[in-house]
Structure 1
Amino acid sequence: MKRDGKSKSPLTNRVNRIVGQVQGIGRMIEEDRECPEVLNTISAVHSALRALEAKLLEDHVRHCVCDAAADPKQLETRLEEMITLYRRRLS
């Protein structure tokens, strides 16, 4: 999917925020911060990654899968991608 600047910006902002959180975890460990504080930050990173994943999945369904609906072969390929992603998520 080709994204324009308007749709890329929120995604890259999320990624940059996640990167900052992960770097913060490294600093927290270096500073010998309390384990619960570090674990809370790790939990926040997990949540942020899940939110990013959900947004990308939504974009994929709304654009790539819907666009493929006109071509049965392409639609089958996109649906197989979705099934693979779903199965991978469960394992």
Structure 2
Amino acid sequence: MPDATAAPAAPLAEPLAGCGCTVPMASANGEPRKAVAVDAGAKERNRKRLRRIEGQVRGLQKMVDDDRYCADILTQIASVHEALRAVGRELMRNHLKHCATAAIRQGQTEAEGMYDELVEMVYRTAR
């Protein structure tokens, strides 16, 4: 529970409703919000994984078009799911390392919002 007597730290930007970080939904020129920081190596690994996943999905489309055996298609779908989970794990690590850490260090109000965001994110991604 936030301490009502503590003065909240001045946010860097208007926080997204329900979001613990102070990254705005969009910048003044309408650009989508950006991560606080992104590890260059992680970004490149994710780009490679996503390109591979894109190829896997095209392969799935071809399997469906070719009336391939259902169990084989389902096996490939499971493979795509796992590849997407790997990207999600990498993104979660980056979010915890940079975005969440920055919000938590800003003060109790921002920390409470980030805790709520993280709990919701874990539940959403664990399905």
Given the two structures, how large is their TM-score scaled by the length of structure 1?
A: 0.84
Listed one character per residue, the Cα deviations across residues 51-83 of structure 1 (whole Å, up to 9, x for unaligned) are: 111111111111111122321222222211101
Q: Sequence identity of aligned pairs in percent?
A: 32
Give distance in 2, aligned partners of 1:75 and 1:35: 47
- Following TM superposition, where does structure 1 have runs of at least 4 consecutive aligned residues deviating by more than 3 angstroms? 4-7
Q: Secondary structure of 2:105's match?
A: coil
The size of the alignment, in residue pairs, is 91
Listed one character per residue, the Cα deviations across residues 11-64 of structure 1 (whole Å, up to 9, x for unaligned) are: 111111111111110001111112222111101001111111111111111111
Structure 1: stretches of 5+ with no match in the other structure: none
Alignment CA distance shift 1:39-1:58 (3 Å): same
Give distance in 1, aligned partners of 2:84 and 2:41: 20
Give distance in 1, aligned partners of 2:42 and 2:72: 33
Give distance in 1, aligned partners of 2:49 and 2:100: 23
Residues 28-67 of structure 1: pairs in structure 2 closer than 5 A = 28-67=63-102
1:24 aligns with 2:59: yes
Given the two structures, how large is their TM-score scaled by the length of structure 2?
A: 0.63
Give distance in 2, aligned partners of 1:41 and 1:7: 25
Equivalent residue, structure 2, for 1:13: 48
- What code does the residue aligned with 2:87 have? L
